[in-house]
Structure formats: C-alpha cells, structure tokens
Chains A and B, each alone.
Chain A
Amino acid sequence: MLRYILKRILQFIPVFIGVTVILFVLQNVVPGDPIKLITGEKAVSPEVELQLRIANHLVKTQEFPILDENGQQVYDEDGNPQMVKRAVNSKGEPVSNSKDAEPESVWDRYVYYISGLLQGNLGNSYQKRRPVADIFLEKYPYTIRLALCGIVVEIIVGIGAGVISAIKRYSFWDVLVTLSTSILVAMPAFWLGMLLQLLFGVNLKILPISGAGANSAFPEYLHYILPAITLASVSTAYTARIMRSQLLDVMNSDYIRTAVAKGLSSRKVIVHHALKNALIPVVTYIGIDFGSMLSGAILTETVFNWPGIGLTIYQAIMQRDWPIVLGGVSIICIVVMVISLIVDVSYAFLDPRIRYGASAKGGK
C-alpha cells in the first residue's frame, strides 16, 4: 500500500507543476502586458504603472539607499540604512520610466509566482487594493459550509436513489430515478436554482432565496436548503447513476451468486456482500466531487447571492477585476488537486486489493 500511496504522490508532483505553469502562463505571459490584467480597464499614470510593475516582479529591481534632501543616507532607528526597491535598466542604473526598465526574465517571474503561491500569496486586487488571499480567506467558510450541506444531500439522495433503482430494477422507482437523473444532468444547474427560488421563495414563500442568513426574516439554517440542493443536483444525479450501475454490476458478479448459494437472505446479500463492493467507486466519486464543491460553486453562489468564493469570482468578473478571478482559479485548482490526491490515497484503504496487493489498479 505504501508503494501505491508513494506512486500517487509522485504522480501528483508533475501535475501540480503543470497546473501552476499553465496558471502562470495565463496570468503573466499570454496577454502581452500583464498590467492590463492587473488594472482591468482603468487607466493608470506612468508612475503608478512602474510601481505596479515593481510590485508584481515584472521588471528587474535593485535595492537603493534612500537619500534625504542633502544627499545623505537615511538610517532607521537601529542604525541600518533604509533601502528602496527601484526598477533598473540593463546596466543596473535606476530608471523612473517603465519603458526603460529591463523586464524580469520569465523564469524568475515563475519562481516569484510559485514561491508566492506556496506562501499563500495570490497577488493583489488593484481595484479593491487588498491581497486576493485575504479576500478569499474571508469568504471561504461560507463555501465550505455550503459544500458540506451539498455533500450530505449528494450522499443521502444519490446513494439512496441509486440503491433503490438497482434493487427494484425496471420498477416505477427505477424509471423515475433514471428519468430524473437524465433531466438533472441536462439542466443548467443555475436554472434549476432559479426554478427552486421561484417555487419555494416566490410562490410558496417558505424558503429564503438569497444570502446566507444575514438580515433575514428566516432562520439561518433555512438559507442552506435551496443552494445546497442546487449545488448537489448534478453530482447527485451522477452519484445515483454510478451507484445503480455499480450495484447492478456487482449483483451480476460470481461472488454474489456464491453468497446466494450459501443460503444468505436477499437482504444480507445486498447489505453485506453487494453494497460494500459497489460503494468503493461511488465513494471515490463523491470524494472528488467534494473537492469540486469546495472549489466554490460559482453558478450556485451567483444565483443565491451566497457570499462565498464563487460569488466573489463572479463579482470580480463583472468588475473586470482579473487578479481576483485568476487568483481564485489558482486557489481552487490547488484545493481540487489536493483533495483528489487525498481521495486517491484513501481509495487504498477502501479496497483490500490495493491495500494488500502489489497490483495497484489504475487511477480512473
């Protein structure tokens, strides 16, 4: 098993590097001038632009001592000379114009980027004048809470519906589950959210349709219901489908026939022999899906005005605040990758064939 886990972690490293390279390329290299991405559509003065370039490691810089009016070095209280970062040209002379400054090499910028990323530095929102990481840290608890509710819905409804439709195959319930999963998968989730708002909020007036409970006439927990259902809708449908097909597959397997031939009752066969086998891939799917839920449901949060990271990204899109968008995508990608790694590793604990065998099964 150690070998399997080690292998998974080793496989994770190139994927992680690849993802960060793509994110870096998107943020820094492709659009030509990253300043436009940082400032959005706002025009900035040359001085500000140079400062932005220095702050974002776009130009080479050197430390220079600060001089007072008399040309004397300024010292701080400990007697050390005070320094300032200034852009330099190719000869190492300080410049005050971004045209003259020597651009930082792409490699150095990537190193800055990745070390910043690993320290939790996702850049700054020029428009909000705040670090992107701070903004997300503030919003993340809402997203996590919503994701937890969503995953509960997914586990209960998805697994339940899948098991029922597999056991009562071709019955009314099976047809109902098959039909509704097909529709849920083909439906834009944000539209489903709006339908729920229309039904439960506007017409029946029994559930709140917006926000996470601040200044609301409804108790806070009611605010979770509709967003959680919307967030979980598509993946619940997939969970039910996977559960159904897995269980049917397992029920057709030879070892189930063995169990029946031993004289086990139908209930025991399903509960003790079929479910455990059929659940392994379902649990894997749910685990990975939890990752993508944690990554912020941009659509759900937009529909329900849920103050999580998804809504933050949406608002940033509206305001053309690209550092927030790209920073958000970076943090989400990393969360998703780490969670799928954890799921992959925990898969080993679920399946004895991996736990005790040398023959590790392929990832998918």
Chain B
Amino acid sequence: MKYELAEDYVAPQENALEASKDSTKPQRTLWGDAFRRLRRNKLALIASVWIIFVVIIALSADLWVPQTFGSPTDIDSSTSAARSLLPPRIKGLENLGIFDGTTDKKNLTTGEMEHINVYQVNAEKYPNSGVQDEYHPFGTDLLGRDVMSRIIYGSRISLSVGLLATSIAVLIGLIMGAVAAYYGGIWDVLIMRLADIFLAFPYVLFVIAVLAVFGPGFQNVFLAIGILGWPSIARVFRSAILSVKENDFIDAARAMGAGDWRIIVRHIFPNSVATIIVYATMSIGGAILTESALSFLGMGVQPPTPSWGYMISDGKTYLSTAPWLMMCPGLAILSTVLAFTVLGDGLRDALDVKMKDA
C-alpha cells in the first residue's frame, strides 16, 4: 500500500492540459468529446458491435433463418420425433471430432443410459434419425425444433422486453423524478415515499405477484417490469435535477420568464440527459435478466413463442442428456446483458456521469 496522492495531484494539470487543447480546437462539443472517449474504450466498442449484431439478427431473422430448420414455433409432428434432441452439429467441424452431432457415451451412468434410450440419443443420432444431411449448430429440442433458430427468434422477445420495459420505466421515472425535484415540498415527499414503498418489495417477486394477478404474457411482462422499475430511475433523475437546479442558468431562465415545464424540458433535461442515457443502458440489461427469470419460472412469454429464459427451463429436465438446450440460450443472455452493462460503463466514463456502485 502506498498513499495515492499522485492521482489527485496530477488531475488539475491534466485538466489544464485539456483546457489548453480545447482552446485550439473550438468545435469540440460535449457529445463529440464523449464519443471520442467511448471510441478509445475497446471493451465498450466490442459491446456496441455485439448489440448492433444482435439487433440486426433479430430484425432480419425472417429473411435468412433457413426454413429447413423448421419453424421455431410450429411443431411439425411428422418430423419432430426424428429431430428430437439432436446434439449440436456444425458443418466443417465434423472431421475435427467436435460438434459432429454425437454425444460421448462414456460419461453416462447406467441410469442415464436408460434415459437416453427413451429419447434415442446415441452416438449416431443424425443418421439414425434419417436427417444425416442436416446441421443444427446448437442442436434441437425435444420437439425437434432447431435451438439456434429459437435463440434468434428469442432475441426479439429479450430485446423488445428490454427496450419497452426500460422506456416505460424511464418515462415514468423521469416524470416522477422531475416533479419531485422541481416542485419539491409535498410532491417530493409523496413521490419519494411512494418510491420507497415500491423499493421495499423484492423486485422479481413483486413482478411475479403482479403477473400472478394480471396473468403472464408478453404485454404484461414488459408492462410489469417497466411500471415497477420507475422508482430507481426517479431517484437518479431527481438527484440529477437537484444538482442541475442549483446552477445559475436555471435562475437566469426563470428570471427571463420561462415557465416550469419549459425550464425542465429545455434546460434541466439536456443537462441530465447523460445520466439518463447511462442509467437506461444499464437498465436494459437488467430488464432482459428479469424477463429471462420470469420466463424460466413460467411467468413470462408463453410457449410456443421462443424466449431465452423459457428455453433454459426447458433444458432443466435434460441437463445430463442434452446440455445444449440450456447452454446456448444462457450464453445468449449472458453476452447480451454483459454487452449492455459494459456499454453502460463505457458511456458512464465517457460522459463522466457520477454514479454509485451497485
């Protein structure tokens, strides 16, 4: 351990340096600056590329996901038995001995072998099922549906729930936070007390309780996640506004006769927008996680619509015989949520937003 004066000390010098650079390049703006800093952050860059990739795949799925894989939702009874629980098989890797559509029998106990006979998994699954020409890179599920196609279509649910729920939470949170911070007094007390009450609930259980009453399903899921998610955003936004509100330019605007909402929309909002963007980005990841948990518990989007969480719970039964069922959707959730958190972190650093850990 050494006491760290160094960083404290250097900081003003660096600022001075930046300031001197700023004066030579007057065109640079806050956003340009932030973008430049974000671009330097390699992790955030990778995360953004991944998010864009997932979004493009989700949007364009109908155009290119091969129909030979079978529809991700419809069950064709004539082929489902043959394709049931096929292990991952990737073209080109067969000769290397990996992802060649076989499972290793040696690892299985006798009890599990019996289980395997029931579901007809064996070392030559593809030829035995008469589908030797097919390649299912992530394998197939019990009903013979291609796991990769289901993950691709499942991304639509995850992304849309993430985006819609976050938008709702941010919208409500913004209004509540703005009213609480701007009007203060009784409004502040009432809204913040309400936020306390909402935050006293364990979040996932609260969503479960609401869905228990209103019923599961896509619409209710994003509504519940969104509506119940407002208090933390309201808190963040409230303190962001309070810190902006202290500034002289707000007084100046008021002195020039600007109305309350005009001040909020034209002056306070742009100055707190960085905080909101960072918080919203991170919330999307959280909403995707919550959605997957709800689907896992059977409270989310109802089958046969594919959703990542539901696919994992599907794989629970076949953990030892068909681990690919839970592996791939889990990786999809992990990578997407991680991408949003990393991007959020990067944005926070780039926009220089002060936030508490956790």
Q: Does a CB–CB distance below 8 Å link A and B in the complex? A: yes
Knowing A190-B293, A251-B1, the reply to whether A26 touches B213 (Cβ < 8 A) is: yes
Is B52 an interface position by the 8 A CB rule?
no
Whole-angstrom distance between the Cβ of B337 and the nearest chain A Cβ: 4
Please state if B194 and A18 are interface contacts (CB–CB under 8 Å): yes
What is the chain A residue whose CB lies nearest that of B296? A190
Pick the contact of A19 from B200, B285, B357 — CB < 8 Å?
B200
Main secondary structure of the interface of A (DSSP, over half): helix
Please state if B202 and A242 are interface contacts (CB–CB under 8 Å): no
- Cα-based distance from A31 to B201 in the complex (angstroms): 20
Knowing A252-B8, A292-B202, the reply to whether A23 touches B297 (Cβ < 8 A) is: no
Residues of A near B202 (CB, < 8 A) are 292, 295, 332-333, 336
Is A299 an interface position by the 8 A CB rule?
yes
- Cα-based distance from A126 to B153 in the complex (angstroms): 38
What is the chain B residue whose CB lies nearest that of A245? B357
Residues of B near A298 (CB, < 8 A) are 204-205, 208, 297
Q: Which of B297-334 touch A at CB < 8 Å?
A: 297-299, 309, 312, 315-316, 319-320, 323, 326, 330, 333-334
Please state if B205 and A37 are interface contacts (CB–CB under 8 Å): no
Is A322 an interface position by the 8 A CB rule?
yes
Q: Which of B181-223 touch A at CB < 8 Å?
A: 193-194, 196-197, 200-202, 204-206, 208-210, 212-214
- Chain A residues with CB under 8 Å of chain B are 11, 14-15, 18-19, 22-23, 26-27, 30-31, 37, 167, 182-183, 185-188, 190-191, 194-195, 197-198, 202-203, 209, 238, 241-242, 245, 251-252, 256-257, 260, 266, 269-270, 285, 292, 295, 298-299, 302-303, 313-314, 317-318, 322, 325-326, 328-329, 332-333, 336-337, 340, 364
Besides A194-B319, A242-B358, 17 other CB < 8 A contacts? A15-B197, A22-B197, A22-B201, A26-B212, A26-B213, A167-B1, A186-B334, A190-B312, A191-B312, A191-B326, A257-B3, A298-B208, A299-B204, A302-B297, A318-B298, A325-B212, A332-B205
Q: What are 28 residue pairs bridging A and B, where the CB atoms are less than 8 Å apart in the complex?
A: A11-B196, A15-B197, A18-B193, A18-B200, A19-B197, A19-B201, A23-B209, A183-B334, A185-B341, A186-B338, A186-B341, A187-B334, A187-B337, A188-B289, A188-B292, A188-B334, A190-B293, A191-B333, A194-B316, A241-B357, A245-B357, A257-B3, A313-B208, A317-B298, A325-B209, A326-B209, A333-B202, A364-B356
